[in-house]
Amino acid sequence: MKNIKKQLVWEFHKNIRKSNQKNNEVYYKKMTRKSSYNSAQSYLGLYLGLGLIFLIIGFLPFLDAEQQKNLLTEGGLFESLTVYLYIFCLILIGVRWPLQKILSSWYLSALIILFALRELDYDKAHFTHGVLKSRQYFSDLVGLPELLISLAVLIFILTVLALIVLKERSNFIKGVINLRQSQLAILTSIILVIVTKTIDGMERKFGIDLSPSGERFVLVVEEVGEMGIPIMFAIAILSWRNKNKT
């Protein structure tokens, strides 16, 4: 009788272990599928942004030279879109971020405004050589009032950049290591800034002779890449808000 009881107890515990094991396997599979879905969803904005940039870069070379010129010229469609996208980023900050975040991180809004003004060539339009050119500060053609204004603008720009590096560096590095979409979008925007500034006037900088089609393609990459910067900013802004909602 005792042996029968022991056998029944053993069978009972064995069935419980099998049931728990099966439930754990089902739970693990569900969590794996959910994790994969959430992972893909969390990078959706970045995928769409990069896809749009590469799609436009791949499409524009199929247009004829005159059409490309109209779209890519100074004051053309893509330059205007870039400025509007920077304005859109400011609107997103005002609508999506809490007031405390906006005030404590004012330098981020200031950076976006500086990028928009740079896109409109304000750094050159109202200065003899350009506020970002070293000649502006050593040329005899620059009067004292203009020099003082140039220095004030330059100091403000350096202050904004210094605050971003000092206050956002840690979060940026951690976010990139953890593959967070907001920081990855900012990293992409930094890469786009480097690429677009490198290829701007590359024939003069590197002594390279390009064919007309090569020049047009470089211009396509430059202008679309510049438009990609505020796109990445917008993704970062939206990602920060979504991250803090969850």
Quick: pLDDT tens for 52-110.
Answer: 999 999 999 888 888 888 888 877 889 999 999 999 999 999 998 999 999 999 999 99
Domain count across the chain: 2
pLDDT score of 13 more than 70: no
Clarify whether residues 37 and 124 are in a common domain: no
Cα-atom radius of gyration of the chain, to the nearest Å? 27
Least confident of 15-19, 46-50, 230-234: 15-19
The packing angle between helices 212-245 and 65-72, to 10°, is 40
Q: Which domain holds residue 3?
A: 1-42
Clarify whether residues 70 and 172 are in a common domain: yes
Clarify whether residues 61 and 118 are in a common domain: yes
pTM of the model: 0.79
pLDDT recorded at residue 209? 81
Clarify whether residues 28 and 140 are in a common domain: no
Clarify whether residues 200 and 155 are in a common domain: yes
Clarify whether residues 171 and 198 are in a common domain: yes
Clarify whether residues 15 and 65 are in a common domain: no
The packing angle between helices 44-59 and 212-245, to 10°, is 170
Clarify whether residues 100 and 130 are in a common domain: yes
**Buried (b) or exposed (e) across 92-113, using 16+ Cβ within 10 A?**
bbeebbeeeeeeebebbbbbbe
Query: 190: closest CA among 161, 215, 163, 217?
Result: 161
Tokens, residue 39: 């992972």
